[in-house]
Amino acid sequence: MPRRDFPADHPRRLLAALELFPSRRLGQNFLHDGNVARKIVAKAVAMGPPFLEIGPGLGGLTRLFAEEGCPAVAVEVDRGLAAFLRERYAGSSVAIVEADFLAVSDAEWRRRFPAGGTVVGNLPYSVASPIVLRLIDLREIFPRAVLMLQKEMVARLCAPPGGKEYGILSVYLAVLADAREEFVVRRTCFTPSPDVDSAVMTIRFRHGVPDADFRRLQTVVRAAFAQRRKTLRNAPVPFLAGGSAQWRDLLRGAGIDPAARAESVPPGKYLALARSLDPGDVPPGAS
């Protein structure tokens, strides 16, 4: 598709023209820094098309995909913004879908991305964790992602063992993917300006961890972090017929000291612990 130019309107002017207001409930902070937008899109393009953009807002990133003719689907939950985007990008390489990303089925994404794709998104803090968990579920369809989130959230997702940032999502991503912080984005790059800085991270999911192993991993990691201030020997393990005694044996078998705390255990040992579970130990519907 030949290159087309779309105006780079400032969010404040666009919102006024559309008679729209940023939604606190949806955590809408619109990126207005063109250099940052180009850096994000460049990282996505390097990962490869087609693209799924989550929460395009006023189109700060969408515009660049459309101008370059990159095949993309942009999913926007805000009705007013979705209508604006549909009109502006009609006939371009970008398809606009008005929907809640979290409510779209696996089957719909497979239909739209039969050969897989790369996710791009500026994610509000309030839905960052659910969206990351959803992307983990969709990792076979979307094995690559470029995400902008609050800086503290990126620190949590990329955290190594041993600190307070290290938690459930840190373990999941360390086991399943190569995840890294790429660069910081100052709060002044957004309209309205949020109270904190953001950061851009990349995620590249790896093959080799079967879904059954990941379900076991979820079971043991949730138990381990259920009571962070207590040692692992005290974790709640109702899924084990042998209770705490069986849990301590499993910990030792995976090379984990039952007197350790959850944040001190490396991801690889959690995976070893998960693989030591019998299939019957995993609660039905664990996800």
**Could you list the pLDDT tens digit for every one of the 287 residues in the chain?**
556 777 678 877 877 777 677 667 666 788 999 999 999 999 999 999 999 999 999 999 999 999 999 999 999 999 999 999 999 999 999 999 999 999 999 999 999 999 999 999 999 888 999 999 999 999 999 999 999 999 999 999 999 999 999 999 999 999 999 999 999 999 999 988 889 999 999 999 998 899 999 999 999 999 999 998 899 999 999 999 999 999 999 999 999 999 999 999 999 999 999 999 987 677 665 54
Mark whether 174 and 228 lie in a shared domain: no
Q: Which of 144, 172, 205 is the last residue of a domain?
A: 205
Residue 27: its pLDDT value, please? 66
Mark whether 220 and 96 lie in a shared domain: no
34 found inside a domain: yes
CA–CA dist 202, 170 (Å, integer)? 14
Mark whether 184 and 165 lie in a shared domain: yes
Q: Which of 187, 205, 223 is the last residue of a domain?
A: 205
CATH code of the domain containing 86: 3.40.50.150
How many domains are there within the chain?
2
Residue 286: its pLDDT value, please? 53
Within 8 A by CB and 6+ apart from 119, the residues are 51, 52, 53, 54, 135, 142, 144, 145, 146, 147
135 found inside a domain: yes
Residue 24: its pLDDT value, please? 72
143 found inside a domain: yes
- Written as one letter, the residue type at 114 is P
Mark whether 58 and 196 lie in a shared domain: yes
| Residue-number span of the structural domain to which 230 is assigned | 211-281
71 found inside a domain: yes
Mark whether 199 and 217 lie in a shared domain: no
CA–CA dist 176, 166 (Å, integer)? 15
pTM for the full predicted model: 0.92
Q: Which of 185, 205, 225 is the last residue of a domain?
A: 205
CA–CA dist 149, 171 (Å, integer)? 18
Mark whether 25 and 56 lie in a shared domain: yes
238 found inside a domain: yes
CA–CA dist 153, 131 (Å, integer)? 12
The H-assigned helical ranges of the chain are: 11-18, 34-47, 62-67, 79-88, 106-112, 125-137, 151-157, 168-176, 211-225, 243-253, 267-275
286 found inside a domain: no
CA–CA dist 138, 33 (Å, integer)? 30
- Written as one letter, the residue type at 266 is P
